[in-house]
Structure 1
Amino acid sequence: MKIKRSLEEAVCILLILAKEEGNNSVKSYRISEQLGVSDSYLKKILRKLVLGGVVTSASSKGGGFRLAKPIEDIFMIDVYYAIEGKNSCIQLRNLAEQVFSSSDESKKVADNMFGLLNESEQLFLNKLAGYPLVKLMQ
């Protein structure tokens, strides 16, 4: 499994927004300056966070970005799904068919491998679902 590097950046964006006093909106250029990333790249991450329901945006003169809910109510799974999507990362190519002449044997290997990887993915997602973002700051 490979996690996009934008996941870390998304978490840091949320922490920046959480630190903003009075839940004020923050302009994207301020966040990009603080993180040292380009504003256009940052806006792509922010868009995913908005679509994921974690951040809200306003395009008025005083607008910007803010948390959609208190930081205590945002979990790592929310950020993960916003950045990575909800599709499973398990994608087998059924290569066991190239190893075994018997379709029963290759199916058994494929089913066992899928079961193991699927169970591991569920454990990972459950861990993220139980981890509030605010805990990163404790």
Structure 2
Amino acid sequence: MKLKRSLEEAVCILLILAKEEGDNAVKSYWISQQLGVSDSYLKKILRKLVLNDVITSTSSKGGGFKLARPIESIYMIDVYYAIEGNNSCVQLRDLANHVFSSSNAAQTVNDNMSELFNESEQSFLNQLANYPLVKLMQ
């Protein structure tokens, strides 16, 4: 499994917003300077976080970005789904059909491999679902 590099950046964006004192919105250019990434690239990540209700955005003179809810109630799964999407990462092509002449043997391999990867993915997602972002700062 390969995670998008923007996943780490999204987590750091949320940690920056969590550190912000009071009810102040944070401008994207300031976040991009903190992380050392381009503002246009950062805005793509911010948009995904807004669309998934992890952060809010206001576009006024005092506008910017804020957490949509307290950092204690944002979990790694929220960030993962915002950046990676909700689709399964398990995408098998049933290549065992090219290895075994027996369709039953190939199907057994395909089924076992699919079950293993799906269970592993579910375990990974469960771990993310039980890991609040605030724990990263403790």
Instruction: Please give the range of the TM-score, normalised by the shorter of the 2 chains.
Output: over 0.9
For the residues of structure 1 that align with 2:52 and 2:111, how far apart are their CA atoms? 32
**Aligned residue in 2 for 1:25:** 25
| Cα drift, residue 61 of structure 1 | 1.1
**Corresponding residue for residue 61 of structure 1:** 61
Amino acid at match of 1:89: C
Partner amino acid for 2:20? E
Is 1:83 equivalent to 2:83 in the alignment? yes
Q: Which residue does the alignment assign to 1:44? A: 44
Gaps of 5+ in 2: none
After the TM superposition, which segments of 4 or more aligned residues of structure 1 sit over 2 Å from their partners? none
When the two chains are superposed, the root-mean-square deviation of aligned CA atoms in Å is 0.5
Residue 5 (structure 2) pairs with residue 2 (structure 1): no
SS of 2:101's partner is coil
Q: How many residues align?
A: 138
TM-score between the two structures when normalised by the length of structure 1: 0.99
Determine if contact 1:17/1:23 at 8 Å carries over to the other structure: no
Residues 1:119 and 2:119 are matched in the alignment: yes
| Distance in 1, Cα, partners of 2:104 & 2:56 | 51
Distance 1:76 1:66 in 2: 17
| Contact residue 23 and residue 67 of structure 1 kept, 8 A | no
